[in-house]
Amino acid sequence: MSVLDDLVTDLSRVPGLGRKSALRMAFYFLKADPVFLQRLGEGIAHLRERLKRCPRCGNYTERDLCEICTDASRDRRTLCVVEQVQDLLNLQRTGEYRGLYHVLHGVLAPLDGVGPTELGLEALVKRIPAEGIEEVILATNPTLEGDTTALYIRRLLGPQVKVTRLASGLPVGGDLEYADRLTIARSLQGRLAMES
Amino acid sequence: MSVLDDLVTDLSRVPGLGRKSALRMAFYFLKADPVFLQRLGEGIAHLRERLKRCPRCGNYTERDLCEICTDASRDRRTLCVVEQVQDLLNLQRTGEYRGLYHVLHGVLAPLDGVGPTELGLEALVKRIPAEGIEEVILATNPTLEGDTTALYIRRLLGPQVKVTRLASGLPVGGDLEYADRLTIARSLQGRLAMES
């Protein structure tokens, strides 16, 4: 049954899906509603035509500019730099942030050929004066690559703008006993005064 | 981004995929090769048109009859009855079985409205004399529903043909310590003589 084999092989290419899960999924499709299958299939086939990157911030959008860049109610003086669109969605979910975003779609990785040009850092730098940004929040991950990228961008932006970095420390609900050494060190470095 | 939301909602409907896995998958698709996406999407959308049930045995096929029913090298006197096509594939993988199959696409479940008619048991009964079948192996699962279905089919077939049931017992590599009571009981009932 080459139609089935081909589908299972393609599904197995999706990260997180092994051959067994792919097979189980294909057999589910074989009994699923044809209208549902048609819609799902077209959703996958045409996803990349229908969703483009916002030319201003890199977020995904179906229009010319994304819904965050065109939202007049947002604070246009603050810009949050993230590695990927998933991070933007997670920040949005907190409801804590009301400013704009800039999605890098990656981190600096010289060994993989990803330098400042590949990340489009020039466009990021230009946004600051062009849009009158007053604070840039660097929200790359607290990993070696994320920290390196944040440091590089910090230097690139120079003194023209206030630059901050997301706090690193113990996760809420976390436990000192199980936290790793680096996280505890960061939480000490970033300790906050408690009002009496 | 309703295109993305719609896709994630549809993917979440697939058993085994939660909303988080669906989101991760959608973001993978957003960076995947468009040719791959086109092929995968069409594979899903057209799966049910391209794969039909074999009118003789119920296996999936792209042709009029499935590749097992048309395979002249198979033993045409033995018929193995399974609940679903996945079971057929698993039996095929063992390389132990060279006969024909009959796929029920379910088990008897009167409470869910699945009776002998819904399972097409009449067609199964007719196959025995029509094809000169000499042995029917009942390979439904060793579950309450599978056992009930096997018992029902056994009575339906009557004395016209030899009927056998897959052996039930300890899994190979399994451990008596961790086996459940029913499995141990079955392995006792089905114990085999050892040659001296």
Share of chain B above pLDDT 90, in %: 78
Residue pointed to by tokens 């379910």:
B106
Alpha-carbon separation of residue B27 from A10, A59, A82, B63, B133 (angstroms): 16, 12, 15, 36, 52
**CA-closest candidate to residue A143, choices A118, A175, A168, A173:** A168
Mean pLDDT of the B155-184 span: 88
CA A49 to chain centre: 20
For residue B81, give the CATH number of its domain.
Answer: 3.40.1360.10
Residue B97 lies in a domain: yes
Mapping DSSP to helix (H, G, I), strand (E, B) and coil, where does residue A104 land? coil
Cβ contacts (< 8 Å) between B23 and chain A: which residues? Answer: 86
pLDDT at A16 over 80: yes
Nearest-angstrom CA–CA distance, B73 and B67:
11
**E-strand spans in chain B?**
52-53, 60-61, 78-82, 100-103, 135-138, 162-165
pLDDT at B31: 93
Residue B59 lies in a domain: no
pLDDT at A70 over 90: yes
Q: Which of B15, B27, B46 sits opposite A86 (nearest CB)?
A: B27
Residue B128 lies in a domain: yes
User: Do residues B83 and B141 make contact, with C-beta atoms less than 8 angstroms apart?
Assistant: yes
User: Do residues A140 and A82 make contact, with C-beta atoms less than 8 angstroms apart?
Assistant: yes
Indicate the residue type of B179. Answer: A
pLDDT at A127: 97
Exposure letters A19-54 (e unless 16+ CB within 10 A, then b): eebbbbbbbebbebeeeebbbbbbbbbbbbebbeeb
Domain residues for the domain of B126 are 75-165
How does residue B23 score in pLDDT terms, banded at 50, 70 and 90?
Answer: very high
Assign residue B159 a region: left if phi > 0, alpha if psi is -120 to 50, beta otherwise?
alpha
What pLDDT, in 10s, does the model give residues B121-154? 999 999 999 999 999 999 999 899 999 999 999 9
pLDDT at B81 over 90: yes
* Number of structural domains chain A divides into: 1
How does residue A43 score in pLDDT terms, banded at 50, 70 and 90?
Answer: very high
Tell me which of A25 and A168 has the higher pLDDT: A25
Indicate the residue type of A71. Answer: D
Taking the CA of residue B65 and the nearest CA in chain A, the distance in Å comes to: 12
User: Do residues A140 and A104 make contact, with C-beta atoms less than 8 angstroms apart?
Assistant: yes
Cβ contacts (< 8 Å) between A62 and chain B: which residues? Answer: 1-3
Cβ contacts (< 8 Å) between A42 and chain B: which residues? Answer: 41, 45
- Provide the terminal-to-terminal Cα distance of chain A, rounded to the nearest Å: 73
- Lowest-confidence pick of A41-50, A144-153, B161-170, B181-190: B181-190
Taking the CA of residue A160 and the nearest CA in chain B, the distance in Å comes to: 34
Q: What is the pTM of this model?
A: 0.77
pLDDT at B102: 98
Nearest-angstrom CA–CA distance, A81 and A100:
9
Residue B54 lies in a domain: no
pLDDT at A1: 65
Please spell the DSSP secondary structure of B40-95, one letter per residue. Answer: HHHHHHTHHHH-EE-TTT--EESSSS-TTTT-TTS-TTEEEEESSHHHHHHHHHHT
Mean pLDDT of the A129-135 span: 96
Tallying the residues shown for chain A, one arrives at: 196
Taking the CA of residue B187 and the nearest CA in chain A, the distance in Å comes to: 28
3-state helix, strand, coil in chain A (%, to 5): 45, 10, 40
pLDDT at B176: 82
What pLDDT, in 10s, does the model give residues A152-190? 999 999 998 999 999 888 888 888 888 888 888 888 888
Taking the CA of residue B15 and the nearest CA in chain A, the distance in Å comes to: 7
- Other C-beta atoms lying within 10 Å of the C-beta of residue B127: 17
- Other C-beta atoms lying within 10 Å of the C-beta of residue B154: 14
**E-strand spans in A8-151?**
52-53, 60-61, 78-82, 100-103, 135-138
The rounded mean pLDDT for chain B is 93
Q: What ipTM was predicted for this assembly?
A: 0.79
| Contact between chains at A47 and B29 (C-beta distance less than 8 A) | yes
3-state helix, strand, coil in chain B (%, to 5): 45, 10, 40
Cβ contacts (< 8 Å) between A43 and chain B: which residues? Answer: 3, 6-7, 10, 41
Mean pLDDT of the A133-150 span: 94
DSSP A90: H
Mean pLDDT of the B69-80 span: 96
Q: Which of A23, A51, A62 sits opposite B30 (nearest CB)?
A: A51
- Nearest chain A residue (CA) to B37: A45
- What's the token pair of residue A140? 């790359």
Mean pLDDT of the A39-64 span: 95
Residue A105 lies in a domain: yes
Residue A85 lies in a domain: yes
| Helix pair B144-157, B121-131: axis angle to 10 deg | 50
Mean pLDDT of the B4-26 span: 94
What pLDDT, in 10s, does the model give residues A73-107? 999 999 999 999 999 999 998 889 999 999 999 99
Pairing of strands A60-61, A52-53: antiparallel
pLDDT at B195: 77
Residue A94 lies in a domain: yes
Residue B144 lies in a domain: yes
pLDDT at B1: 65
